[in-house]
Amino acid sequence: MTHLEQTAQFPGSVLAPDPDWWRGAAVYQIYPRSFQDSNNDGIGDLSGIIHRLHHVANLGVDAIWLSPFFRSPMLDYGYDVSDYRDVDPMFGTLGDFDALVDRAHQLGLRVLIDLVLSHTSDQHPWFKESRSSRENAKADYYVWADPKPDGSPPNNWLSIFGGPAWEWDGERMQYYLHNFLVEQPDLNFHCPEVQEQLLAVARYWLERGVDGFRLDTVNFYVHDKQLRDNPPLAPEDRNDTTAPAVNPYNFQNHLYDKTQPENLEFLRKLRAVMEEFPNITSVGEVGESQRGIEVQAEYTEGDGLLHMCYGFDFLSNAYPTGKAIARVMDQFAREAPDSWACWAFSNHDVVRHRSRWNLGEDAARVYAAVLMSLRGSICLYQGEELGLTEAYVPYEDLQDPYGKRFWPKFKGRDGCRTPMPWIQDNAAGGFSDSRPWLPMAVEHLSRAVAVQDGDENSTLNFYRNMLAFRQAHAPLRKGDLTILTAEDTSLSFIRSHEGYDVFCAFNLSASAQPLQFPEGDWAVDRGAPFTTVTTGRGLQLPPFQACFAVRQDSTN
């Protein structure tokens, strides 16, 4: 069945054809295990997502991104795929997935799914066959290498999850590469048949009606064929952008285990498959500490690669001062002038940004307004619209293997993956009638959707209003960006699109900030959910407030 035929089955869809819909879109990430449980096994599922999709639609976003729901042993909670073409029974069935796509389209939401192509589970039939001998049909599907004469691994590559990136296999009497868990062997993209298999996987889901892909660890696909050692990284050049500071992964300059030039060849093939379908997009996750924006530019250059990428510029621990934000914007404009970015403050892999940056309620709101005003598309992570902080998960309840490996200095990713609170008067927050797979954070109950929904001053309604404001002003979605002022505690810039200009100013501090309007005839837009005091050309911004102004003669 083609994508067009699939779409024709959904007469209720309100989506208008628009190949450029992704440019400036707001995408809402759903972590299926923690969104809504419909069968009371304590684990979220696809039917639960369908039940709660109206919440996402009412928020005012353009699309959802579903973290993996494929068949999996769940050692890395879906990012270890054992069958790319089926839904894991804990999440439901392919019929449930089709119903979810149908319902999302009826609500005006496009659907992106999380494709994990760099590696599979060791339970995938491909790996089982590949490890059985050196002569079988899939012998080259994974990265196998002989040991050094002393029996040690082929090189010094390290796993993001700790320890060597090589695991000895006694059946083949070789090592295999795993950039993540031992149970997540890396596919060999130097094998043409592997590429064809993965392109067929993408086509399969496009034919089922998805609107695009979030591509997990997109720069990890191809490894150096010569298996050269990574050089050391000077201590002053190390950072915790890709891995926590306690991880020796940061001690290397990862020149050879990822981000290889041959990766671009595969991405061109993947884009060609996507071009067979209308209105499709792709966003790649670039895990690159030393040259993230440079790689994003390479992967999105022209019309033959990815549509957009996101890095970890605003997903790290570094506090986003006005100067820091401007520096990232300037660098992206300089190094990737023809590319489109995707920005996020939180996702399923990092500490929630309210806790990571120690933001109070008002500070979190003004930073949300900054995110929604930057040039590029944006991703919002479930619960972000409620102002959720990182939950504390005690070691005995910990599920994340990453956290178990580096506890207690790094507590893993479970604190941002706890269940979504829907109601207050329920121990599981309305997520389930059973004990959730991760404990519901007690402090999250008072921020439940039902609590905030009717409060016009709530964080939830702030997000709704700010997203509606962004949607109403084309420059905030698609315009160019010109930095005017950038200080540690304030930031201002102009967004411009087709003769229509929006001035954006942000006070990122707890003290009032005086600013000046730029030259021209500007009028403050009171539609934005902020308090602004103006005196002629002067602008007095109260603590953690923003101002948006348009030129009086501008038309949308």
Catalytic residues: 216, 276
Strand, helix or coil at 219?
A: helix
* φ, ψ dihedrals at 61, nearest 5°: -85, 170
Neighbouring C-beta atoms of residue 190, cutoff 10 Å: 15
Q: Are 475 and 495 in contact (CB under 8 A)?
A: yes
First-to-last C-alpha distance (Å) of the chain: 40
Q: What's the helix, strand, coil split of the chain in %, to 5?
A: 30, 20, 50
Residues 6+ apart with CB under 8 A from 450: 422, 423, 424, 430
In three-state secondary structure terms, 417 is coil
Distance CA 12, CA 190 (A): 43
Q: Which uninterrupted H or E stretch holds 494?
A: strand 490-497
Listed residue (86, 305, 32, 97) closest to 201, CA to CA:
86
The Cα–Cα gap between 46 and 94 comes to 10
Query: How far is it, in rounded angstroms, from Cα 243 to Cα 246?
Result: 8
- Given a contact cutoff of 8 angstroms between Cβ atoms, the answer to whether 406 and 246 are in contact is yes
Cα distances (angstroms) measured from residue 532 to each of 283, 402, 526, 536, 544: 36, 45, 9, 13, 11
> Is the N-terminal amide bond of 518 cis, ω within 30° of 0?
no
Place of tokens 């404990």: 439
Instruction: Give CA 467 to chain center in angstroms.
Output: 18
Which amino acid does the sequence have at 138?
A: K
